[in-house]
Structure 1
Amino acid sequence: MQVTSEAVSGVVRRLTVSVPTSRINEQFEARLKRTAKTVKINGFRAGKVPVNVVRREYGAGIYQEVVNDTIRDTVFEAIQQEKINAVGMPNIEKTEMKEDALVFEATVEVYPEVDVKFEGLEVERNAADVNDKDVEKMIENLQKQRAGWTETKGMAKKDMQVTFDFEGTVDGEKFEGGAAEDFKLVLGSGRMIPGFEDGIVGMKKGEEKVIDVTFPEDYQAENLAGKAAQFKITVKLVEKQKLPEIDAEFLKIFGVTEEEGVEKLKADVRKNMEREVKNGLRNQVKGATFDALVAANEVELPEAMLAQEIDRQRQQMIQQFTQQFGAQGAKAFDSSMLPDDLFKEQAEKSVKLGVLVSRILAEAKIEVDAARVEAYIEDMASSYEDPNEVIEYFKNDEKQRQQIEAVVLEDQVVDYILAAAKVTETKVSYEDLLKTQQARQQG
């Protein structure tokens, strides 16, 4: 077999493969003999059909099968022979049966070869810490999560809970879902359409009022989208939040004894917040570093790699939807609801990053640092009641440990890139750091 290859583009190679007809003829004769042992033809006993009869009756079809199988087998042999790092399946473009050889052409996409550039790379690294006010606010949030409500005679304000009846009309006509009794709403929660909650602010128990609002243009009920409406509001109860006392019962919820007191609670809360900050800062600089790396490097992507990543992201979304809404909800999905364009931009970024990181790992000969893996596991385990049990779990579960090793290896790549980049440090608050992290996760 003779093979020549040429570059069609940075990620496509064309192979010209020549297979001697002697190889095809040998396989053809062998297949004729095998067929003669199993084929049924009138006038001949099973297994006793002469080969020349099989050749006459089925020869053309069998020969074409041999040619197709030969192309299938030899194209992969050619890829290996040429040491081509192929991605996806090869595409047979042209075949020609000559007197002494079968000649065919095939194109195959290859893994991109890139020279990673670090010139001009700029990365913004956040810095944050946890102060006493942050701890106090977190404890207040813990109280709010377990807060009750107490009636107030005053006006309804943001963060107060209002119980009310409402009845809506559009062009003077009532509409489905536009009325309710004893409806409870925490003002400022954003549960209602724009302007609705603002209209209730300032009202008192027993007060009635008609408010004017406009449904958003993208409102789920098409018959209401973009339309002006009026709602008659009757307030029945206004309540303000009542935070629980930080007493023995409250402390017990968080594993703190009355003797240890609020200072122990503050210390535990601060420790958890500092762990959040550490993880948040690591994720922020990792995201910023990888974003800068992708922006600084052009990478020609094989369509096969892009298609695989799009399909992976699509399946991931379906899986998340199934977990959230159950199998019945997943059945409501139609493939047309998740077109390739929905994932293309993120898929391109993900594949580019994968190619660049793989190249850095190879060029810099970066291998996972076992000591950093152990430190990562110990730090993660410290937030559990029995850290040793968690550490043992990761030591004995190969799959889970591999996931931790992948995270640590990414951190090592980030350190390598940062060493070659211009890094500026920006001080941010604890709250802003977490908001940025949440926005990145949602994006």
Structure 2
Amino acid sequence: MDYTVEDLSAVKKKVSVTVPVEEVEAALSTAVSMYRSSVSLDGFRKGKVPVSVVEKRFKDSIYREATTDLVNVHINQIITELKCNPLSRIDFKGKELERGKEFKYEIAFEVAPEIELPNYEGFEVEYNKPEVNEAEVDEVLARINKNMSELVAVSEERKPQDGDIASIDFIAYDENGKEAEGIKADNFQMHIGERQALEDFENLVKTIPLGKEGEGDITFPADFINPEFANKTYTMKIKVHAIQERKLTPLDDEFAKKAGNFESLEKMKESIRGSYMQTRENLAKSQAQHSMVEGLLKMVDFPLPEGLVDNYMNNILVDMKNKLERQGKNLESLGKTPEELRNGARSDAESLAKVQLFLLAVAKKEGLSVEEEEVDRELRSIAVQGGHDYKQLKDHYIQNNLIFALRDRILGDKAMELMYSKAKVVEVEKKAE
């Protein structure tokens, strides 16, 4: 395999690759052999199907996989020899392997720019000393008590109130008295006061006594997740079948033993304080680290790879979409075009890209590296958090050339820790919010 490198810009390279016929034949033969060892065809024992039959029968899959595997091997070799890491997706331009022909293709990718780093040793950064107040501890205890509480059926004829769980039937009718499709439920378990439904709907439920029926007009908001109902008013008919209230237990040593096998309530409080403090110390450190990088970034200027910025914009918009959906809304509810949304995310995306490139430059200067075990450990963590199969996730990262970005992220974290260890950290009292 031979290749030539062309610098398309300060942050983008194009590599033209030529693969000789001998290497093409070897790649295809290897792929055919792997298929032959596992396929079963009528009239042949497993692993005994003639090579010519296997190649003819599974040609499309074999040639596609052989091409992908060969290109991935080349990419790793080229990146290693060039001593550079792609910052975004690697673009491939070429066809599939063919018997008896040399294979030519191109790859293009973005790389980090050269950055003249400022002196970060002894750089002064403030660390906001975290604290935990008793009100927060009490809130946790109350939440645990609520989760442990016993649900008791309400017998008197009263209305649902905050903290109750009401079992209701409801149905919606439009202005013509026609039943609205999609707004109906039987024995719906509604947690009152937890904002699981529209505020007006919940307020209406609170007006209906146990065992009774009631109705009222509800106008759906303009940004409702289902645009079919947005800005429309429906008459909601509701029946309250049952109400359950929570029976809380006293906050004492016995409660602490049941909640987590603590010796006493005070020991339980100490554990909650410690957990809060650990979380806030990590957050305070993270804030100090980012403040440090922001200060150092003001001293430098460098070009940004557009693909890297584009990736960050996509991530920002996906996060925005997920947050809105959790609120029962969608991106369209913001009243902006996709282009306007992307432009609005550009500033934050550029800031994130600058931080990443700066940290990679520090990592290069300090000779930091990432071992394969560290990448695997991070992939396993991602798999567990997302509920994915580790092997399938790793294959996805490899096939889509995402390993480089993951390695850069780990490398950036190392660079951040090293810079922070060399900074002059000044502890200050937490600023008033």
TM-score between both structures, scaled by the size of structure 2: 0.51
Distance in 2 (CA, whole Å) between partners of 1:146 and 1:8 is 63
Report if the CA contact (8 A) 1:127-1:427 is conserved.
no
CA shift at 1:361, angstroms? 4.1
Report if the CA contact (8 A) 2:151-2:247 is conserved.
yes
CA shift at 1:247, angstroms? 5.9
Amino acid in structure 2 at the alignment position of 1:351: A
CA shift at 1:129, angstroms? 1.1
* SS of structure 1 residue aligned to 2:302: coil
Report if the CA contact (8 A) 1:153-1:238 is conserved.
no
Is the counterpart of residue 156 in structure 1 residue 160 in structure 2? yes
Match of 2:271 in 1: 268
Matches within 5 A, 1:313-392: 348-362=350-364, 365=366
Matches within 5 A, 1:248-259: 248=254, 251-256=257-262
Report if the CA contact (8 A) 2:368-2:414 is conserved.
no
Match of 2:63 in 1: none
Distance in 2 (CA, whole Å) between partners of 1:10 and 1:406 is 21
Deviations 1:110-129 (A, max 9, x none): 5301234699x997754431
Amino acid in structure 2 at the alignment position of 1:283: S
User: Which one is further off, 282-291 or 157-166?
Assistant: 282-291
Amino acid in structure 1 at the alignment position of 2:134: D
CA shift at 1:141, angstroms? 1.4
Distance in 1 (CA, whole Å) between partners of 2:199 and 2:161 is 16
Distance in 1 (CA, whole Å) between partners of 2:92 and 2:207 is 70
Match of 2:104 in 1: none
> Relative to 1, partners in 2 of residues 1:416 and 1:341: Cα closer, same or farther, differing over 3 Å?
farther
Match of 1:11 in 2: 11
Match of 2:305 in 1: 302
> Relative to 1, partners in 2 of residues 1:207 and 1:200: Cα closer, same or farther, differing over 3 Å?
same
Distance in 2 (CA, whole Å) between partners of 1:188 and 1:112 is 53
- Give the unaligned 5+ runs of structure 1: 18-27, 32-72, 93-105, 321-336, 369-401, 430-443
* SS of structure 2 residue aligned to 1:182: strand
* SS of structure 1 residue aligned to 2:136: helix
Amino acid in structure 1 at the alignment position of 2:164: M
TM-score between both structures, scaled by the size of structure 1: 0.50
CA shift at 1:264, angstroms? 2.2
Is the counterpart of residue 112 in structure 1 residue 79 in structure 2? no
* SS of structure 2 residue aligned to 1:283: helix
Report if the CA contact (8 A) 1:357-1:413 is conserved.
no
CA shift at 1:312, angstroms? 11
Amino acid in structure 2 at the alignment position of 1:300: P
Distance in 2 (CA, whole Å) between partners of 1:161 and 1:178 is 20
Distance in 2 (CA, whole Å) between partners of 1:126 and 1:282 is 8
- Structure with bigger gyration radius: 1
Match of 1:201 in 2: 206
Match of 2:228 in 1: 223
Amino acid in structure 2 at the alignment position of 1:138: V
Report if the CA contact (8 A) 2:363-2:415 is conserved.
no
Matches within 5 A, 1:405-420: 407=413, 409-414=415-420, 416=422
Match of 2:57 in 1: none
CA shift at 1:254, angstroms? 0.8
Is the counterpart of residue 427 in structure 1 residue 428 in structure 2? no
User: Which one is further off, 243-252 or 177-186?
Assistant: 243-252
Match of 1:133 among 135, 160, 167: 135
Distance in 1 (CA, whole Å) between partners of 2:112 and 2:414 is 25
Deviations 1:329-349 (A, max 9, x none): xxxxxxxx9xx9699776644
Distance in 1 (CA, whole Å) between partners of 2:109 and 2:194 is 55
Distance in 2 (CA, whole Å) between partners of 1:424 and 1:282 is 12
> Relative to 1, partners in 2 of residues 1:177 and 1:313: Cα closer, same or farther, differing over 3 Å?
closer
Report if the CA contact (8 A) 1:168-1:230 is conserved.
yes
Match of 2:173 in 1: 169
Distance in 1 (CA, whole Å) between partners of 2:304 and 2:256 is 56
CA shift at 1:145, angstroms? 1.6
Deviations 1:34-67 (A, max 9, x none): xxxxxxxxxxxxxxxxxxxxxxxxxxxxxxxxxx
Distance in 2 (CA, whole Å) between partners of 1:366 and 1:85 is 13
- Give the unaligned 5+ runs of structure 2: 23-73, 94-106, 323-337, 370-407
Match of 2:283 in 1: 280
Match of 2:216 in 1: 211
CA RMSD, aligned part only?
Answer: 5.4
CA shift at 1:146, angstroms? 1.6
Match of 1:192 among 197, 219, 227: 197
- Percent identity, please: 20
CA shift at 1:262, angstroms? 1.9
